[in-house]
Structure 1
């Protein structure tokens, strides 16, 4: 999948790109089944909320064939190769869940702030790609973005070790308020929350400020986050477990565009 000049311009200006229903219903059904199974597992890669509900499943692409195919999928890999002008590798792979009623907050933060401080990533030449497995509504913990905030560079942050089960470098209220005010246009708030059906894809800059509210609704929300980094920009510190910050900098070789469908159909036939 190649980006148009208009899409590249929007990314440079706003810090994000959104592609509604980028993956088919059959592809999403396959991934959703695998995600549910992984989030039930008792293994170090699966982190839970203080309530016990699943929060994040790391590195599924290293032990699950469906997610290995997704991490090598051309619809995700090729746009980032285009943006960075070079091959990319998988820095991080997460299954983020917001369980019905108990899904917890993700505080306001920049992803590159963590990659730089904890992993020694030289520059913000890495990007998050979010693949929606459930429908993301405005009310079930949608990801909130502050447009254009990536233009402010890497901001000062504090290391929050207590709010949730996952440590995070977070921004203070005055910084978030200032950035939101600067992003306001035509009387509209300086926050966007891209909502969409399963299969939609959101790509956003490593320095774009974002967060999400708790989910107090009966509608769960699962999103896959694939972080791809330019190979020449690989991390230099290894303070976090390898399943959180990967140390294999091998350039991704994209699979065929139909690889997920081929896998789904082959395994359906085998099961029958």
Structure 2
């Protein structure tokens, strides 16, 4: 039985107007972490923040080696491995923090975990983690979407109190499929039309069609908010609100792009039953152990 009121109805059989966000974007203050007032205000207004040197240069060679190891060691039929359309190269590997001590250590860095706690104003846990790999020439993009729409509809995340951290492991150029965001779009929830198919995640992780705003809505939001693009050297972190509209184009350049993608949810925002899906998604996509990160590291 659903235990939480639905402030953000979606996956409907008819269109309804956009819904103003109920929750604040920034939950903690200057005294709660490393971000100063300017950074907190920028995140609150735009819904995203770029932090340089989240990883030092000495981290990059071993992490790239770890990506290669994970890709080689995991079985081809492991559901945590998502491939490009047609069964091509690896697109994503989920739960890397449980597969690699090195990546678990990245989560604990002073440049990562305290920022999540400050933005969310509480202890946090990993709702979802993955490595994203966009190979040169053949890497396909991600269509415009709000992550919260999926996490709410298919995972039962009650409130917009989660934040994502994408840490670049390669150079992010304007032309190799780097992430684009619509600044300020996080202030509004855009309900989507279309019921959630059974086992939707098996298709949406490759090419999402359900749970995305229609083109008319996207055009209006882009006209009002504009589009910014995340570029920068390896080691740069992009923090963005769970409800920020974002997407990426395909990579037809020779330059591959990869990143560690961490989703932090407040322990006070534990998942309930899905709001618009018949069953829960697998644990590797949506952890239900709302235990503060750090207290379960002994099992990593």
If the TM-score is normalised by the length of the shorter chain, which range does it land in? 0.7 to 0.9
| Equivalent position of 1:56 in the other structure | 92
Moved more, 158-167 or 52-61: 158-167
Secondary structure of the corresponding residue to residue 244 of structure 1: coil
Moved more, 128-137 or 151-160: 151-160
| Equivalent position of 1:176 in the other structure | 218
| Equivalent position of 1:11 in the other structure | 43
Report the Cα distance in structure 1 between the residues aligned to 2:58 and 2:205, rounded to whole angstroms: 34
Q: 1:250 aligns with which of 291, 297, 300?
A: 291
RMSD: 2.0
Tell me the CA shift for residue 154 of structure 1.
4.4
Secondary structure of the corresponding residue to residue 229 of structure 2: coil
Contact in 1 for aligned 2:190/2:213 (Cα 8 Å)? no
Tell me the CA shift for residue 36 of structure 1.
2.0
| Equivalent position of 1:263 in the other structure | none
Contact in 1 for aligned 2:267/2:290 (Cα 8 Å)? yes
User: Is 1:236 aligned to residue 280 of structure 2?
Assistant: no
Q: 1:205 aligns with which of 224, 227, 241?
A: 241
Contact in 1 for aligned 2:64/2:169 (Cα 8 Å)? yes
Moved more, 237-246 or 154-163: 154-163
| Equivalent position of 1:216 in the other structure | 252
Secondary structure of the corresponding residue to residue 74 of structure 1: coil
Tell me the CA shift for residue 148 of structure 1.
0.4
Tell me the CA shift for residue 240 of structure 1.
0.8
More helix by share: 1
Moved more, 157-166 or 230-239: 157-166
Q: How does 1:54-133 map to 2 (within 5 A)?
A: 54-133=90-169
Moved more, 22-31 or 137-146: 22-31
Count of aligned pairs: 249
Instruction: Report the TM-score, using the length of structure 2 for normalisation.
Output: 0.78
Secondary structure of the corresponding residue to residue 129 of structure 2: strand
User: Is 1:39 aligned to residue 71 of structure 2?
Assistant: yes
Unpaired runs of at least 5, structure 1: 184-189, 255-272
Tell me the CA shift for residue 165 of structure 1.
2.5
Moved more, 205-214 or 229-238: 229-238
Report the Cα distance in structure 1 between the residues aligned to 2:97 and 2:205, rounded to whole angstroms: 25
Aligned structure 1 segments of 4 or more residues deviating by more than 4 angstroms: 157-164
Unpaired runs of at least 5, structure 2: 1-32, 274-278, 296-300
| Equivalent position of 1:30 in the other structure | 62
Q: Closer, same or farther in 2 for the Cα pair 1:152/1:110, shift >3 Å?
A: same
Contact in 1 for aligned 2:54/2:112 (Cα 8 Å)? no
Tell me the CA shift for residue 248 of structure 1.
1.8
* Cα deviation code 1:1-41 (max 9, x no counterpart): 61000000000101000012321111122211111221333
